[in-house]
Structure 1
């Protein structure tokens, strides 16, 4: 009789040990799961955003697709952007779109090419408006970015000061690289001739600047602008074609519009006017401004 009692007690003891071990294992599993969950939560967000806002790359006077190829390739490699379309404008102003913009493409890019790359600012502005309208008709969007070089900067700013159709999209971010807003060396400007007055106004205002100043009140409010300025550091305070005063004069021009202005200066031989769009540091600055979180 005593042995039976002892055997029963031993069985109950073993059962208790098994239950305790099981509960201990569950506790460790729960702790591991909680730890893994916390680790997942603490993962850093990707450094580059995913946006459906298209970015138009616009070349300058005497430019071509080669003027923006390097910038676009850098954006594709670094910021996970994708060139979806090439918008070619014929000498008569007809827009031809080549390529495919698939739904949900990350950070889409449209490369703009003017066959007549000697056209005046106002003509290029009109053509750029037609390009944006043609792209919107194919793939609807409400906001857009522009990256422009040289005369393309003036054409873009002029576009933004020109009345458009009511359904025309809104500028999101604008990047101007070596913009000749107040003259070009060798044409209507001379190195170290111009300067800023105490209120920030350029002392001499050349034709392009006067053209824009006449309708500056039409410029949209609260635009985000990155202005890239090149300086050869050779005593000219210019990138060879555009003086630093000319490039920086956009800030005073757009005063009172709530402009969110950022300026980045680049120095040395790779800050020459045409080398700026081949400069990897410039390309990275553009990518970070448009798409970095």
Structure 2
């Protein structure tokens, strides 16, 4: 009987210590959340413009989630909607977009993820019309990877600023094959049909002329070249490409010349255009959207960064991003000739 009071005291002690530990952990979590909120308020804009992620050839929602997760972790944005396009073009939506939402993210999945960039662009048009009519979205950012980048550019040239779709705002285009894709003979490449002809590029064969035009123009590039006058003028573009530094001057799938050939199409047309080169082993084509720190920092800063100034009356560059990424080419509409 004499040990019962001691046991009771120990139980109370355990409870008190456990409560203190629990409160300390809770306070630490709350403090970290507050610090993240302060950081986000200081560094990121508060906008209701959604950002739509467009995956590439063979891509899935996993292709987009890693980039989006890093944006969420930084406090810059939050995922709000998933749009799924069936092979027959029917659209299924999970989640919603409201005017009060801050920097909302939209994932886009094509069930037929090997339909190619031209079909992607048609489905993208259908999705955009739905976002405008049903969710009253007036402006839209885009993040594209690989064929998703080409599809985003093609979509914008096809539709310009048509009144039944949201106006395009900022485009982050990653590893876009605008003038050919390296024919590596991989099993996941199309070997028959019209898409097979698009895998027609080779490393160190093409080059860009002084005006940025490719010396060799592939059919898919000519399609964009024919439509370039319809690119919406208000669009701001960050073109991210990879170089493995292995002598191929490519990310293993897309050559630098193919990715950089976009400049000739939008020069003197869009409000702002800048390129960012990622180098080394992590610059491999698929790794560019796979928790790539350099890509994700550039993406997040460009779309949501408060200090990334692209106004026509102020400095073009964000010093933080310039110092970190060393972008190679930049111009604003009306100033491209002066920058040559």
Shorter-chain TM-score range: 0.7 to 0.9
Indicate the SS of the match to 1:215.
helix
Higher-RCO chain (CA-CA 8 Å, sequence separation at least 6): 1
Q: Distance in 2 between matches of 1:166 and 1:198?
A: 37
Query: Larger deviation: 160-169 or 209-218?
Result: 160-169
Indicate the SS of the match to 2:65.
helix
Aligned partners of 2:80 and 2:97 also within 8 Å: yes
Would the alpha carbon gap of residues 225 and 78 (structure 1) be closer, same or farther in structure 2, given more than 3 Å must change?
same
What is the match of residue 262 of structure 2? 250
Task: Indicate the structure (1 or 2) with the bigger Cα radius of gyration.
Answer: 1
Once the two structures are superposed, residues 217-242 of structure 1 have per-residue CA deviations (whole angstroms, 9 ceiling, x without a partner) of 11111421000010000000000000
> Which of 101, 106, 110 is equivalent to 2:106?
110
Aligned partners of 1:149 and 1:178 also within 8 Å: yes
Is 1:208 matched with 2:204?
no
Aligned partners of 2:129 and 2:164 also within 8 Å: no
Aligned partners of 1:79 and 1:287 also within 8 Å: no
Q: Distance in 2 between matches of 1:258 and 1:114?
A: 28
Is 1:177 matched with 2:189?
no
Indicate the SS of the match to 1:174.
strand
Matches of residues 59-208 of structure 1 in structure 2 within 5 Å? 59-163=55-159, 165-186=162-183, 187-208=199-220
Indicate the SS of the match to 2:257.
helix
What is the match of residue 28 of structure 1? none
What is the match of residue 230 of structure 1? 242
> Which of 278, 287, 291 is equivalent to 2:300?
287
Could you say what the CA RMSD is over the residues aligned between the two structures, in angstroms? 1.5
Q: Distance in 2 between matches of 1:259 and 1:166?
A: 20
What is the match of residue 17 of structure 1? none
TM-score (normalised: structure 2): 0.71
What is the match of residue 34 of structure 1? none
Aligned partners of 1:149 and 1:177 also within 8 Å: yes
C-alpha displacement at 1:167, in angstroms?
A: 3.0
TM-score (normalised: structure 1): 0.82
Q: Distance in 2 between matches of 1:199 and 1:215?
A: 18
C-alpha displacement at 1:65, in angstroms?
A: 0.6
Aligned partners of 2:288 and 2:295 also within 8 Å: yes
Q: Distance in 2 between matches of 1:157 and 1:135?
A: 18
Matches of residues 30-41 of structure 1 in structure 2 within 5 Å? none
Once the two structures are superposed, residues 144-200 of structure 1 have per-residue CA deviations (whole angstroms, 9 ceiling, x without a partner) of 100000001111111111137523211110010000000001120000101011222
Q: Distance in 2 between matches of 1:290 and 1:80?
A: 9
Aligned partners of 1:57 and 1:111 also within 8 Å: yes
Q: Distance in 2 between matches of 1:140 and 1:105?
A: 13
List runs of 5+ in structure 1 lacking aligned partners: 1-43
What is the match of residue 12 of structure 1? none
